[in-house]
Amino acid sequence: MSELVYAGIGGNIGDPATTMRDAASSLDREEGVRVLRASTVYRNPPLGPQDQPAFLNAVIELETTLGARALLALFLKTEKAFGRVRAEKWGPRRLDLDILFYGDAIVEEPGLSVPHPFAHERPFVLKPLCDLNPHLVHPTAHRTVADLLSQTDDSTMEPIPDIALIEA
């Protein structure tokens, strides 16, 4: 059985657009994973330390037969393959992959929380999610992502429409 997953993808060092595109392609080639769609890519200020470059962020929609834990392991392996070094919380990174929603599952395990514990309050997650599915209902907040987005300040989100993460 497969699950529909929404995943955050982003980065702010190196060439984030190329890294994000290559990472989405890499995920699509993995057994049990099919990348279906990608949102618009957005440029936004960093969360946390401000002495780093702006981030590029997007959301990819994928279908997977992997369980949530196995998908997380794949994401961590992919981040590492693309040069991710975990040195500073909210610090600069070449690639960041996060499971935002795994179907309508609610998972609370050591090292894995689904839905992502901050998805409901971050415009750089909600705005690209709305590109793909504004009517998606957050399984614990019980509100659509469009409604949640309306409660945030997305004024610093700059769409970069000429970056396509997957081929149409």
Whether the model clears a pTM of 0.75, i.e. scores above it, the answer is yes
pLDDT in tens, 57-75: 999 999 999 999 999 999 9
Domain ranges of the chain: 3-160
Superfamily of domain 3-160: 7,8-Dihydro-6-hydroxymethylpterin-pyrophosphokinase HPPK (3.30.70.560)
Which range has the worst mean pLDDT, 78-82, 89-93, 136-140? 89-93
Q: How confident is the model at residue 51 (pLDDT cuts 50, 70, 90)?
A: confident
Q: Would you report the helix, strand and coil content of the chain in percent, each value rounded to 5? A: 25, 30, 45
User: Sign of torsion, CA 52 54 59 64?
Assistant: negative
Which residues are identified as catalytic? 84, 93, 96, 98
The CA R_g of the chain, rounded to the nearest whole Å, is 15
